[in-house]
Structure 1
Amino acid sequence: MTSAPLPDAALPPVVSTEEWRKAHEAMLVKEKEFTRARDALAAERRRMPMTRVEADYRFVGPDGEVGLLDLFEGRRQLLVYRFFYEHDVRGWPDKGCPGCSYLADHVPHLAHLHAWDTSFAMVSPAEQDNISALQRHMGWDKAPWYTLVGDDFSRDFDVPEMFGVNVFLRDDHDTVYRTYFVTGRGVEPLLPTLSMLDLTALGRQETWEDTPAGRPQQPPYRAERHDEYP
């Protein structure tokens, strides 16, 4: 992709190395404040109450029908991402939601999560044949992906459509509890590309950002499926 022209006036000011280091040290003070605030928020999240999961939610995987407890794969914690892949998605059945596809590209090597006794799975209303075909096409071979049986799970866990991440905990008696839920921009911690762009001078290049005049800006939420970028 060819870079668009960028006027000199839109670039950051040029200063000496000494002046840059002073500006950087001042920024690091604010970065540390942000880190501590994020740690404090995570500490509050760990102290939230949880609610017992009463229903026997069912899913279909490559090996047949399973329950929510099976998605833990024997581990203590579970994150479930509801991937928007169904009949009203643009490009169905060959394509999934662009935003969800963007997230699926960022799923890490799950051995790292598993080492902390935590599992990750994706769920969608789509049939397993469609899911398997899309996985092969997009190269998504890291996370297990299940078909939702009915609408109960989506309705009860605030993802009747579109997307969201529900977090569950299993006790020693195999009782499952819901501990957290995020949707919208709440899923950004799962998207390291955005964190990497936030470190750059041009940022995410979206219109909602507070950005100096002249910097490139485009409408937000412009993530594409990785095989559709220009």
Structure 2
Amino acid sequence: MTDQENRTADRASALPAVADRATFQAELDKLRVREKAHTREGDAIAAARRRLPMVEVAADLELTGPDGPVTLLEAFEGRSQLIAYYFMWHHGHPAAEQCEGCTWVTTQVEELSYLHSRDITYAVFCQGPYEASRRYRDFMGWDVPWYSAVPSQDVLLVGRHVGMMHLVCYLRDGDRIFETYWTTLRGVEAMDYSYALMDLTVYGRQELWEDSPSGWPRVQGTPADHVRLRSNGRPIPQWSRLEAGRSDDLTPRP
């Protein structure tokens, strides 16, 4: 049997109980109470986030962009706020061995006009050299602003684990810049919609840590295998790029 046939067979025995419409709706109504409480708590957490103090960051910290060195201030593109995603980078490794987690979340961020309408710039600050990482961005077909944070990443991520994914929010007051919030690991799921949609389905994300009924399908392999975000040795969305004829050669051109 093919992998798809095996998955279909596994799921044939993993089914919720069947109920009539009235029973189904009654159970959903009970769950809706918890969902609404979760939404209200999320709103309360966001309100607390807006009341955090902020810390000043040097506006002249150097990044590398398409035309060479730029400052952190210039990365704002004239807007008052900046959201920067610090993309992990495995220096000297081919595209297939780049971070599947960073590829996952960056693939989700496409339309920036809604952010721009609120005076927010979004950009990727890659923790690797500009030329090789830009070629990865081009291979993936991403249009988001892209910089290398290497010249200043130890200062930009002071007190944190350089080399790990981070999502950082900044505020500009004239020519002064302040950091207002940062998160990492599962906090970067704020960028994702695929997992959010999976969470609505009966089988969820199908990950090992989830609390699901016995027999529910799971992504096979240990968490260390990263299989949930990889397929046949590559981050999942790379395969469609290869099929479209794009080169995943990251070697900088002379």
1:157/1:166 contact within 8 Å kept: no
**C-alpha displacement at 1:154, in angstroms?**
4.8
Q: How many residue pairs were aligned?
A: 225
Preserved CA contact (<8 Å) 1:69 1:176: yes
Summarize the Cα distance change of 1:212–1:111 in structure 2 as closer, same or farther, 3 Å threshold.
same
Q: 1:209: which partner in 2?
A: 210
8 Å contact kept, 1:86–1:124: no
- The answer as to 2:28 corresponding to 1:24 is yes
Say which SS state the counterpart of residue 6 (structure 1) adopts. Answer: helix
- Asked whether the 8 Å contact 1:78–1:168 carries over to 2, the reply is yes
TM-score by length of 2: 0.82
* C-alpha spacing 1:95/1:139, structure 2 compared with 1 (3 Å): farther
Which residue is equivalent to 1:124?
A: 126
RMSD, aligned α-carbons: 2.1
Q: Distance in 2 between matches of 1:108 and 1:26?
A: 35
Amino acid at match of 2:154: D
Distance change in 2, residues 1:86/1:6 (3 Å): closer
What TM-score results when the alignment is normalised by the length of structure 1? 0.90
Residue in 1 aligned with 2:139?
137
1:74-103 Cα distance to aligned partner (Å, 9 max, x none)? 111111111012316xx4366531110111
More helix by share: 2
1:167 aligns with 2:172: no
Q: Distance in 2 between matches of 1:25 and 1:136?
A: 46
Structure 1, unpaired ranges of 5+: none
Counterpart of 2:70 in 1: which secondary structure? strand
For residue 100 of structure 2, the aligned residue among 92, 98, 101 is: 98
For 1:66, what is the secondary structure of its paired residue? strand
1:169-199 deviation digits (Å, cap 9, x = unpaired)? 011x221001001001111111111100000
Structure 1 residues 103-142: Cα deviation after superposition (integer angstroms, max 9, x where no partner)? 110113111110110011111243332123212211112x
177-186 vs 151-160, which deviates more? 151-160
CA contact (8 A) 1:86 1:93 kept: no
The residue type equivalent to 1:205 in the other structure is Q
Contact 1:154 1:160 in 2 (8 A): no
Mapped contact 2:88–2:165 kept (Cα < 8 A):
yes
From 36, 56, 60, the counterpart of 1:56: 60
User: How big is the shift at 1:157?
Assistant: 6.2
Identity %, equivalent residues: 36
Structure 2 segments unaligned to the other structure (5+ residues):
241-254
